[in-house]
Amino acid sequence: MNAKKKAIKIILYVLLISLSLAMLVPFYWMVISSLKMNKDVFSIPMKWWPETMHPENYRVIWNKLPLVTFFKNTAKLTVITTAVQLCTSCFAAYGFTKCKFVGRDLIFLMYVTTIAVPWQVYMVPQFILVSGMGLNDTHIGLILMQAFSAFGVFLMRQFYISIPDELCEAARIDGLNEFGIFRKIVFPLGKPAMATLVIFTFTNVWNDFMGPLIYLKTKELKTVQLGIRMFISQYGADYAWIMAASVCSLIPIVIVFLSCQRFFVEGVAASGIKG
Amino acid sequence: MSNGKTGFLTSGQKRKIRNNMIGYAFILPNLIGYAIFVFIPVVFSFVLSVMSWDGSKRPMQFVGLANFADIFGDKIFRGTLLHTITYAVMTVVPTLILALLLAVLLNNKLKGVAIFRTAFYFPYIASIVAVGAVWNMLFQPDFGPINEFLKFIGIADPPRWVVDKDWAMVAISIVSVWKYMGYYMIVYLAALQGISGSLYEAASLDGANGWQKLWHITIPMLTPTTFFVMIMLTIQCFKVFDLVYVMTGGGPGNATKTLVNYIYEKAFTSWEFGPASAGAIVLFAIVLVITLIQFSGEKKWFKDL
């Protein structure tokens, strides 16, 4: 029995290790190719470990590509969008759960009816509207179109519902006003849901491709994703450079992911098992 | 404001008005943004779908269902529907199965589970542009590592992947499965934690082996999750754009052009907002049907549970 258990465990480990290595092969290939010469990327037989490293590829792309500008743009868009999304969602969720006012259910119904509508369905009229405001090819336009989602309100509302009303009632009796209750009690309690929302919005905005593709035309305003894409179409055959650029575009998200992994995983679990 | 100077209103009425104002103050920041940037565009997309407009100063014209007649008469559009459905089928089924398998494997008490979980989840958060670039090279038909490997194991004439109209979509699906399975694995893992251990203990007492437990307890208990994952994945597949755009650009020919690629091109390269919006309404109809299936399914599971 014990030997059998041990054997199963070994099989499991072998299986898991080989599967996870297989999952990571594309990333490994990306990194080693970025250190080869352009002409050696597809050399046959394939070299899993290049004999000579060419880290200067990174210096080359650094000079060819305004990466710092792209990173700054992406960081700006990501931080502002996430902050606006988080603040307005928490406020609204508090209003929908802890305040009573005329038309509350009707307004919430508006959110409910549109939550399932994919962005791709209304991206065209949205673009027309944002352009009409003169915000095409600006960061503000891109932020405004992404910062207000029904998802954020739903997520926070779901969490705030579980906070007992008696807690707010007690605070009210103690003389706190509504904003005080929100700031001192409900908002701090909502941290787990906020972490989920932050991670969700952060990865979405950071990795967003189609939004910037539609909205941003000026090179100086472009995001990392768009900039790397531009570089790839421009230097189609310079494989090592393309891989070096791709590695650069992944570094920030890797750092964020590895340092906040727990939240990523919990976030998926929280938004995944719904209903 | 509430110190009773007005005299026309009772204190109860005043409190009510105050409560209304407070409530609105909390929801307004989000409501205004949401109404302008989401709700109005959603309504407007229905309006646009029955109009003819190129975005210029010329006023739009009501054309009835002509846009829908147009796109359904367009061979390219009918093709995109077919490609999108093919992509969805080729992606959803393997992703589901692999996500479930990985979750079951990881649900064992092992050292280093977190590391494996990270490895499986990582492709999900990597950006499409970088991922598309590296997979395009892996799939390179003449010297790419995938075809080198296939030749090595004895396949003399491996597929030409992204440059072959019959294989391009398969390649895109493979990348999607690789990218998405880690995410749904975590959804499954969360659901697995919810299955009561006593079920397994009872089964062990009855002499069930591992496979039997998997087949008769785990998989049936996960049915609601599988249903949910299937719905989410299908909707996600119908919205596919980025991966196709960066890997094949819809080609070769139009072989991998999907519904959203079509909407995008109609709207932002040929500026035909009418047909683009008609395409968007078709996407909406598809997602709506899937969502309705989800609602009826959820009702069923909740009655059963």
Q: Confidence class of residue A114 from pLDDT cuts 50, 70 and 90?
A: confident
In the block, which residue shows the tokens 């492709």? B123
pLDDT score at A274: 41
pLDDT score at B244: 94
Q: DSSP string of A45-99? A: SPPSS-SS--THHHHHHHHHS-HHHHHHHHHHHHHHHHHHHHHHHHHHHHHHHH-
From chain B, pick out residues whose CB is under 8 angstroms from the CB of A201: none
Residue from A1, A23, A48, A135 whose CB has the most chain B CBs within 10 Å, to mutate? A23
Q: Confidence class of residue A270 from pLDDT cuts 50, 70 and 90?
A: low
Subunit contact B291:A91, Cβ cutoff 8 A: no
- DSSP at A149: -
Q: Chain A residue with minimal CA distance to B128?
A: A207
User: Which of A12, A30, A87 faces B134 most closely, judged by CB atoms?
Assistant: A30
pLDDT score at A9: 85
In the block, which residue shows the tokens 């807690």? A167
* Phi-psi domain of A118 (left: phi exceeds 0; alpha: psi -120 through 50; beta: other): beta
| Contact between residue A173 and residue A62 where contact means Cβ atoms under 8 Å apart | no
From chain A, pick out residues whose CB is under 8 angstroms from the CB of B22: 99, 101, 178
Mean pLDDT of all residues in chain B? Answer: 88
Q: Does residue B158 surpass a pLDDT of 90?
A: no
Spatial separation of the C-alpha atoms in residues A184 and A176, rounded to whole Å: 9
Query: Which of B206, B233, B200 shows the shortest CA–CA distance to B218?
Result: B200
Pick B39 or B19 by higher pLDDT: B39
Subunit contact A118:B235, Cβ cutoff 8 A: yes
- The H-or-E segment that residue A11 falls in is helix A2-34
Spatial separation of the C-alpha atoms in residues A225 and A265, rounded to whole Å: 24
pLDDT score at B7: 61
pLDDT digits (tens, 9 = 90+) for A78-96: 999 999 999 999 999 999 9
In this complex, is the C-beta atom of B39 within 8 Å of any C-beta atom belonging to chain A? yes
Query: Which of A165, A157, A232, A167 shows the shortest CA–CA distance to A197?
Result: A157
Listed by number, the residues of chain A in 188-207 with a beta carbon closer than 8 Å to a beta carbon of chain B are: 203, 206-207
In this complex, is the C-beta atom of A151 within 8 Å of any C-beta atom belonging to chain B? no
From chain A, pick out residues whose CB is under 8 angstroms from the CB of B44: 122, 125, 128-129
Q: Confidence class of residue B258 from pLDDT cuts 50, 70 and 90?
A: very high
CA separation (Å) from B43 to A117, A133, B47?
11, 18, 7
Residue from B1, B13, B134 whose CB has the most chain A CBs within 10 Å, to mutate? B134
CA separation (Å) from A229 to A224, A245, B243, B247, B258?
8, 10, 12, 11, 20
| Contact between residue B217 and residue B294 where contact means Cβ atoms under 8 Å apart | no
In this complex, is the C-beta atom of B121 within 8 Å of any C-beta atom belonging to chain A? yes
Q: Does residue B57 surpass a pLDDT of 80?
A: no
The set of residues, in sequence order, having a beta carbon less than 8 Å from that of B193 and lying 6+ positions away, is B107
Task: Give the rounded percent of residues in chain B with a pLDDT score beyond 70.
Answer: 96
Angle at B15 between CA B13 and CA B20, to 5 degrees: 95
pLDDT score at A142: 93
User: Which of B39, B182, B190 faces A114 most closely, judged by CB atoms?
Assistant: B39
Spatial separation of the C-alpha atoms in residues A50 and A47, rounded to whole Å: 6
Residue-wise burial string across B171-200, b where 16 or more C-beta atoms lie within 10 A, e elsewhere:
bbbbbbbbbbbbbbbbbbbbbbeeeeeeee
- DSSP at A183: I
- The H-or-E segment that residue B109 falls in is none
Task: Give the rounded percent of residues in chain B with a pLDDT score beyond 90.
Answer: 43
Measured between CA atoms, how close is A129 to chain B, in angstroms? 8
User: Which of B22, B121, B187 faces A178 most closely, judged by CB atoms?
Assistant: B22
pLDDT score at B303: 60
From chain B, pick out residues whose CB is under 8 angstroms from the CB of A258: 118
pLDDT score at B302: 64
pLDDT digits (tens, 9 = 90+) for B260-291: 999 999 999 988 888 999 999 999 999 999 98
Instruction: Enumerate the H helices of A178-238 as residue ranges.
Output: 178-181, 187-189, 191-207, 210-215, 224-234
pLDDT digits (tens, 9 = 90+) for A15-62: 899 999 989 999 999 998 888 888 777 776 677 777 778 888 898 888
| Contact between residue A223 and residue A70 where contact means Cβ atoms under 8 Å apart | yes
Q: Confidence class of residue A275 from pLDDT cuts 50, 70 and 90?
A: very low
In this complex, is the C-beta atom of A27 within 8 Å of any C-beta atom belonging to chain B? yes
Q: Give me the count of residues in chain B.
A: 305
Subunit contact A91:B39, Cβ cutoff 8 A: no
**Cα A86 to chain center, whole Å?**
13
In this structure, the number of other CB atoms found within 10 A of the CB of residue A178 comes to: 21
Subunit contact A249:B33, Cβ cutoff 8 A: no
Q: Confidence class of residue B214 from pLDDT cuts 50, 70 and 90?
A: confident
Subunit contact A246:B33, Cβ cutoff 8 A: no
The set of residues, in sequence order, having a beta carbon less than 8 Å from that of A51 and lying 6+ positions away, is none
Q: Does residue B4 surpass a pLDDT of 50?
A: no
Query: Which of A256, A262, A255, A254 shows the shortest CA–CA distance to A192?
Result: A262
Partners of residue B51 on adjacent β-strands:
B62
The set of residues, in sequence order, having a beta carbon less than 8 Å from that of B57 and lying 6+ positions away, is none
pLDDT score at B299: 77
CA separation (Å) from B150 to A32, A41, B120, B294?
21, 18, 24, 40
Least confident of A182-186, A261-265, B120-124: A261-265
Listed by number, the residues of chain B in 251-270 with a beta carbon closer than 8 Å to a beta carbon of chain A are: 260, 263-264, 267-268
Spatial separation of the C-alpha atoms in residues A256 and A252, rounded to whole Å: 6
User: Which of A23, A203, A228 faces B129 most closely, judged by CB atoms?
Assistant: A228
pLDDT score at A271: 60
Angle at B129 between CA B164 and CA B97, to 5 degrees: 70
Subunit contact A125:B40, Cβ cutoff 8 A: yes
Query: Which of B247, B227, B53 shows the shortest CA–CA distance to B164?
Result: B247
Measured between CA atoms, how close is A146 to chain B, in angstroms? 8
Q: Please tell me the pTM assigned to this model.
A: 0.89
**CA gyration radius, chain A:** 24
Q: Confidence class of residue B300 from pLDDT cuts 50, 70 and 90?
A: confident
Task: Give the rounded percent of residues in chain A with a pLDDT score beyond 90.
Answer: 35
In this complex, is the C-beta atom of A231 within 8 Å of any C-beta atom belonging to chain B? no
| Contact between residue A247 and residue A31 where contact means Cβ atoms under 8 Å apart | yes
ipTM of the complex in this document: 0.88
Partners of residue B61 on adjacent β-strands:
B52
pLDDT score at A12: 87
Subunit contact A100:B30, Cβ cutoff 8 A: no
In this complex, is the C-beta atom of A41 within 8 Å of any C-beta atom belonging to chain B? yes
pLDDT score at B190: 87
Pick B57 or A87 by higher pLDDT: A87
Q: Does residue A229 surpass a pLDDT of 60?
A: yes
Q: Confidence class of residue B6 from pLDDT cuts 50, 70 and 90?
A: low
Averaged over A145-173, what is the pLDDT? 88
Say whether B61 sits in a helix, a strand or coil: strand
In this complex, is the C-beta atom of B4 within 8 Å of any C-beta atom belonging to chain A? no
pLDDT score at B1: 46
What is the sign of the dihedral through the CA atoms of A174, A175, A181 and A183?
negative
In this complex, is the C-beta atom of A187 within 8 Å of any C-beta atom belonging to chain B? no
Interface contacts A/B by beta carbons within 8 Å? 269
pLDDT score at B103: 92
Q: Does residue B248 surpass a pLDDT of 70?
A: yes
Subunit contact A246:B117, Cβ cutoff 8 A: no
What is the sign of the dihedral through the CA atoms of B67, B70, B72 and B74?
negative
Angle at B45 between CA B39 and CA B46, to 5 degrees: 105
Averaged over A238-259, what is the pLDDT? 88
